[in-house]
Amino acid sequence: MKALLANTAKAMATLTIRNLRDDLKKQIQVRAARNGRSMEEEIRLILAGAGDLPAAPIPPDRATPRQNMPVAAPETPKPSPHNAAQHRILLIIGGGIAAYKSLDLIRRLKERGASVRVVMTDAAQEFVTPLAAGALSGGHVYTDLFDTVAEFDIGHIRLARETDLIVVAPATADLMAKMANGHGDDLASTILLATTAPVLIAPAMNPQMWSHPATQRNLARLRGDGIQTIGPNDGEMAESGEAGTGRMAEPLEIAQAALALLSPATPQLLKGKTLLITAGPTHEPIDPVRYIANRSSGKQGYAIARAAAAAGANVTLVSGPVDLSDPAGVNVVRVESAREMLAAVEQALPADVAIFAAAVADWRVASTGGQKIKKGASGTPELSLVENPDILSTVAHRTKARPSLVIGFAAETEKVIEHAKAKLAKKKCDWILANDVSEESGVMGGDRNTIHLVTKAGVEDWPEQSKNDVAHTLIARIAKEIT
Ligand SMILES: Cc1cc2nc3c(=O)[nH]c(=O)nc-3n(C[C@H](O)[C@H](O)[C@H](O)COP(=O)(O)O)c2cc1C
């Protein structure tokens, strides 16, 4: 019944606006703008008999300077159209095939208590309708920069300002290019230029578009400008028969990343610090189709990267091949082999802290041919192995641009502490996080870990914890050491 009444009031408000005389329409526009409401909301209040409430001023931090607009004297506090306790999220839907997922994203954000305003690009409306987005968000969907009613009612500058976070999902290659280059030729790009709110983008596109140097250049520029990213993920694309990196992060992941940005659960212990983290296994090629790998899942390194970013650090995560989504707000560099990982690590320096959680292969095949090794008369092939570069030791031994804290992991199957102490001395790193990765421990690929922190001063035994909790414990311990 309540829903029926609300829908009726909404429909009546829309009808009423259409049927109003121009001068009345103008008065409502002014009154709604002054009260910080949409015209529909204003009319709904009038229809509900609450319309004779005194008009309240727009707080100065929310108000858009308007020339020639009558401004009411301050009266009662403004009944905000958005509950003050709510996070105000502006969702910009770009014109990608993943736009349908953004409808679910609206729902996910609202479930988490956010108020959601929606802006759609022209191309987005080819994929989903403003009607559907409006029905889910419960408000007007903004589409046109030059729509006089919408511009007078709320305006692009207020859309840009009256928000705690802008989420762009899907962020098309085109929108990323516009953002990176400061274009403002439609409502979405103009808002993105005019805002001072944090921006989270969820790129989604065909894998070739994603890996194109222009898109990667734009991405690097956007990250440099402080834009946060989530995804894209690996996997099947919405277009039939396409797979690779370019799939939009799932609505739940985006919603979680958005909320994490809005209310950082972790104190900003590492604000302003730069962390370099490695994670996952490496793949060492045998021939073009085969490789040597290990069972590392990358979960611990990814958890550390997430915790470091949540603590305000500037994080680069150099990741071997894993089946995990890029953590939000982290610059992820994906590599395959140990030598590629070393090159990416050196490229990412300088950093205040380096944490080497990757399980780097100790050896690689000495010579890998250009062709697949065939079964045949020459019998079983002999693989001759050579040692890979030792990334932890290389960085710890640096004289220039050595991070002030170099941390390694020691994954041992026996004599855990003894081996970790030997590793600390040999590699010249500052800390070793030793853990038992024997089969019985369930650490490899599992979600829990028992860490012994070995430093020059001694050994600290941490209790068994989830990998996430290990990550937070480590971040707090690092903050204590370096700040
Ligand atoms: C069927 C179809 C699917 C598309 N999917 C995507 C996509 O997933 N990602 C993307 O960047 N562009 C995609 N495009 C291209 C964009 O729609 C196009 O670049 C458009 O100009 C983007 O506009 P916008 O950035 O203003 O939303 C697609 C185009 C078509 C016809």
Domain count, the chain: 3
Residue 217 lies in a domain: yes
Indicate whether residue 40 lines ligand 1 (CB < 6 A): no
What is the identity of the amino acid at 298? Answer: G
124 pocket-lining for ligand 1 (C-beta < 6 Å) = yes
Answer with the residue of higher pLDDT: 357 or 29. Answer: 357
Phi, psi of 351 (to 5 degrees): -145, 155
Same structural domain for residues 355 and 402? yes
Q: Are residues 353 and 403 in the same domain?
A: yes
Going by alpha carbons, the residue nearest to atom 16 of ligand 1 is 95
Q: Ligand 1, residue 124: give the atom nearest the CA.
A: 27
Please indicate, yes or no, if residue 464 is contained in any of the structural domains.
yes
List the alpha helices (DSSP H) in 368-454.
391-396, 416-427
pLDDT tier at 34, thresholds 50, 70, 90: low
Q: Which residues pair with 466 in a beta bridge?
A: 448
Do 104 and 233 have their domain in common?
yes
Same domain? For 398 and 351 the reply is yes
Residue 207 CA, ligand 1 centroid: distance in Å: 13
What separation in Å is there between the alpha carbon of 123 and the centre of ligand 1? Answer: 7
Statement to judge: residues 290 and 323 lie in one domain:
yes
Establish if 225 belongs to a structural domain: yes
CA–CA gap between residue 412 and residue 435 (Å, rounded): 6
* First-residue to last-residue Cα distance in the chain: 58
**Does 119 contact ligand 1 (Cβ within 6 A)?**
no
Task: Pull the structure tokens for residue 114.
Answer: 């956010």
Domain contains 286 = yes
Integer Cα distance of 197 and 72 in angstroms: 28
For 388-416, what is each residue's pLDDT tens digit? 999 999 999 999 999 999 999 998 888 99
Distance from residue 95's CA to the centre of ligand 1 (Å): 5
Among residues 102, 107, 154, the alpha carbon closest in space to that of 124 is found at 102
Q: 212 CA to middle of ligand 1, Å? A: 15
Pairing of strands 405-412, 314-319: unpaired
Range of the domain at 174: 88-263
Residues 122 and 200 in one domain: yes
pTM: 0.54
pLDDT in tens, 245-292: 899 999 999 998 998 888 765 688 999 999 999 999 999 999 999 999
Residue 62 lies in a domain: no
Domain annotation covers residue 76: no
Starting at the earlier edge strand, list the strands of the sheet with 165-171: 141-142, 115-120, 88-93, 165-171, 199-203, 228-229
Amino acid sitting at position 331: N
Q: Can you read off the two tokens belonging to residue 340?
A: 């590629």
User: What is the number of the ligand 1 atom nearest to the C-alpha of 209?
Assistant: 11
**Which residue's CA lies nearest to atom 6 of ligand 1?**
96
Last residue of one domain, picked from the residues 263, 297, 328? 263
> 201 lies in a domain?
yes
Q: Is the CB of 175 under 6 A from ligand 1?
A: yes
Which residues have a Cβ under 8 Å from the Cβ of 420 and sit 6 or more positions away? 410, 412, 432, 434, 452, 454
Give the catalytic positions in this structure.
294
Q: Which residue has the tokens 């308007």?
A: 66
User: DSSP string covering 203-267, please?
Assistant: E---HHHHHSHHHHHHHHHHHHTT-EE--PEEEE-SSTT-EEEEEPPPHHHHHHHHHHHHS-SS-
Q: Are residues 181 and 293 in the same domain?
A: no
The response to whether residue 187 sits with its C-beta less than 6 Å from ligand 1 reads no
Domain check: are 139 and 249 in the same one?
yes
Mean pLDDT, residues 310-339: 93
pLDDT bucket at 100, cuts 50 / 70 / 90:
very high
Provide the b/e sequence for 64-102 (b: ≥16 CB within 10 Å): bebeeeeeeeeeeebebbbeeeebbbbbbbbbbbbbebb
**Could you tell me if 31 and 175 lie in one domain?**
no
Instruction: Looking at the structure, tell me whether residues 157 and 241 fall in a common domain.
Output: yes
Could you tell me where the DSSP H helices lie in 311-430? 338-348, 391-396, 416-427
Both 344 and 472 in a single domain?
A: yes
Is 161 inside a domain boundary?
yes
Chosen domain end from 263, 294, 328: 263
Q: Is the model more confident about 209 or about 112?
A: 209
Q: Which atom of ligand 1 is nearest to the CA of 98?
A: 8
User: Among the listed ranges 41-50, 98-107, 192-201, 416-425, which one has the minimum average pLDDT value?
Assistant: 41-50
Nearest CA owner, ligand 1 atom 11: 172
Residues 194 and 338 both lie in one domain? no
For the ranges 3-7, 148-152, 294-298, 359-363, the lowest mean pLDDT is seen at 3-7
The tokens for 77 are: 């506090």
Residues 56, 78 contacting (CB under 8 angstroms):
yes
